[in-house]
Amino acid sequence: MNTELRTGLVDLFREAGQAHHAAFTATGGDDPEWPIWYADYLQRPFAEQLDMKFYKSQLIYCLMNADFEHQARSPESDWSEFYADQLLERCAPSETPEQDQLILYHANSCPFCSMVRANIERLGIDVELREIFEDEQYRDELIEARGRATVPVLRINSPNGDERWMPESRDIVAYLEKTLVSD
């Protein structure tokens, strides 16, 4: 994990939170369109920090997902740290894309997994496939890492020992396209 990058993202989320609070004092911070406001504020600094292009719609999607996961899994935790971890887990590019080992935890019967497998084939990327109903050990590995057996999940093992577990079929395909195919 790149701790400097993480700290930078946490600070940006905090700064955005304060700016949002200041902009919405009249409503006591209440803003039903908050993901749009945050995406506007964060689009450019995030692109600079992560050195990648972000569409506003992509950021809105990431922010809404982070909020959903935060409320469901860890509402007591610091939101800016939680959001930064979510963003890194789901959107950040790898520092060593050529050397990473990629493993897809999937199920043959899962339509989201089929979509990811079809894209892996289309892109011609080398990914080890682990079918969680064919081998109980794969299912156990997934549950141990993620706390649940929802598939697909892409596991990214970097040579420096970093291990990342990326859920969500659309995020996985976007990651593979951005990190391994485009320049």
Question: Which residue among 150, 157, 165, 174 contacts ligand GSH (CB under 6 A)?
Answer: 150
Site size toward ligand GSH (CB under 6 A) is: 11
Of the candidate spans 4-12, 69-77, 85-93, 147-155, the one that interacts with ligand GSH by CB under 6 A turns out to be 147-155
Q: Is 110 in the site for ligand GSH (CB under 6 A)?
A: yes
Which residue intervals of 74-110 are DSSP H helices? 79-90
Binders of ligand GSH among residues 18 to 47 (CB under 6 A) are none
Which residue, 42 or 179, has its beta carbon nearer to ligand GSH? 179
Question: Which residue among 65, 86, 169, 179 contacts ligand GSH (CB under 6 A)?
Answer: 169
CA atoms within 13 A on the CB side of 49: 22
Question: Which residue among 37, 112, 133, 165 contacts ligand GSH (CB under 6 A)?
Answer: 112
Q: Are strands 163-167 and 153-157 parallel, antiparallel or unpaired?
A: antiparallel
Task: Say if CB 106 and CB 131 are below 8 A apart.
Answer: yes
> How many of the other CB atoms lie within 10 Å of CB of 151?
24
Q: Is 87 in the site for ligand GSH (CB under 6 A)?
A: no
CA atoms within 13 A on the CB side of 21: 6
**129 token code pair:** 């496939």
Alpha-carbon dihedral angle through residues 169, 102, 143, 118, given to the nearest 10 degrees:
30
Q: Is 65 in the site for ligand GSH (CB under 6 A)?
A: no
Cα 99 off chain centre by: 20
Question: Which residue among 52, 64, 149, 174 contacts ligand GSH (CB under 6 A)?
Answer: 149
Which residue, 16 or 155, has its beta carbon nearer to ligand GSH? 155
Question: Which residue among 16, 151, 173, 176 contacts ligand GSH (CB under 6 A)?
Answer: 151
Of the candidate spans 5-13, 46-54, 87-95, 165-173, the one that interacts with ligand GSH by CB under 6 A turns out to be 165-173
Q: Is the bond into 159 cis (omega within 30 degrees of 0)?
A: no
What's the rounded Cα separation, in Å, for the pair 49 and 32? 27
Question: What does the binding site for ligand GSH look like in residue numbers (CB under 6 A)?
Answer: 110-112, 148-152, 168-170
